[in-house]
């Protein structure tokens, strides 16, 4: 699909409708999974060692549908220095995992829950390296928010256009070696940044959902 044929603008209702359809789930996630993926499993452990939630916060900026990603600081407890969606661990005061995603987004980016409308969710994903079960939610906010990143958790925040993810040229593959083993690592290239791992797997499912809507 060329850039000229991509849908750049979606209404909240279109996004909600797309998310209500049968999810491509694991099949879509695996398109951006590191291979081999040590400790991988098809289901979520029961009980899950740790629960977390992330939020894909969609809004329009200069006529394009975008969402924010964060570069985590070197002082956070886990996933230091990694690019991720806003989110974090479920806490006792959270009524549910959706509340976790909204609270964490408010804490990290200053976008309060009252300003956002959760329109759906994607498939949960188990991260073997950290033992977390991550639950992704999708929300819309209109107009585009002013992002106020918390410097204790967020080193940088940047916006990614959905059109970039839909462009096949954004998807790259690398071969890496670790402890004598070769790994095939897919990533989304956004400028000089690489989005890979669990974040890329979550976004791959969103891409599949929106591509079906286009």
Convert the pLDDT of each residue in 12-46 to its tens digit.
Answer: 888 889 899 888 999 999 999 999 988 888 889 99
**41-81 pLDDT per residue, tens:** 888 999 999 999 999 999 999 988 999 999 988 676 666 66
For the chain, percent of residues with pLDDT exceeding 90: 64
**147-172 pLDDT per residue, tens:** 999 999 899 999 999 999 989 899 99
CATH classification of the domain holding 50: 3.90.79.10
- The pTM (predicted TM-score) of the whole model is 0.92
Count of structural domains, the chain: 1
- Given a cut of 90, is residue 108 above it in pLDDT? yes
Question: Which pLDDT belongs to residue 78?
Answer: 64
Any idea which of 70-74, 114-118, 138-142, 196-200 has the lowest mean pLDDT? 70-74
Question: Which pLDDT belongs to residue 21?
Answer: 87
- Given a cut of 70, is residue 4 above it in pLDDT? no
Cis before 126 (ω within 30): no
Give the model's confidence band at 209: pLDDT under 50 very low, under 70 low, under 90 confident, else very high.
very high
- The boundaries of the domain holding residue 119 are 3-213
Give the model's confidence band at 2: pLDDT under 50 very low, under 70 low, under 90 confident, else very high.
very low
Question: Which pLDDT belongs to residue 80?
Answer: 64
Positive/negative CA dihedral, 29, 141, 79, 52 = negative
């Amino acid at each position: 699909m060329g850039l000229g044929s991509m849908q750049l603008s979606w209404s909240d209702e279109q996004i909600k409708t797309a998310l209500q359809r049968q999810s491509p789930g694991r099949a879509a996630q695996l398109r951006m999974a590191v291979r081999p993926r040590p400790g991988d499993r098809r289901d979520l452990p029961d009980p899950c060692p740790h629960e977390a939630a992330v939020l894909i916060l969609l809004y329009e900026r200069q006529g394009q549908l975008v969402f924010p990603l964060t570069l985590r600081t070197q002082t956070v407890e886990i996933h230091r220095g990694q690019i991720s969606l806003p989110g974090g661990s479920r806490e006792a005061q959270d009524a549910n995992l959706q509340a976790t995603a909204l609270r964490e987004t408010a804490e990290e980016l200053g976008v309060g829950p009252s300003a956002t409308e959760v329109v759906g969710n994607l498939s949960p994903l188990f991260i073997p390296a950290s033992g977390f079960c991550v639950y992704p939610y999708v929300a819309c906010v209109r107009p585009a928010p002013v992002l106020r990143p918390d410097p204790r958790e967020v080193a940088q925040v940047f916006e990614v256009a959905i059109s970039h993810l839909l462009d096949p040229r954004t998807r790259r593959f690398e071969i890496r070696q670790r402890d004598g083993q070769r790994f095939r690592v897919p990533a989304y290239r956004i400028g000089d940044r690489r989005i890979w791992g669990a974040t890329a797997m979550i976004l791959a499912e969103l891409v599949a959902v929106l591509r079906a809507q286009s």
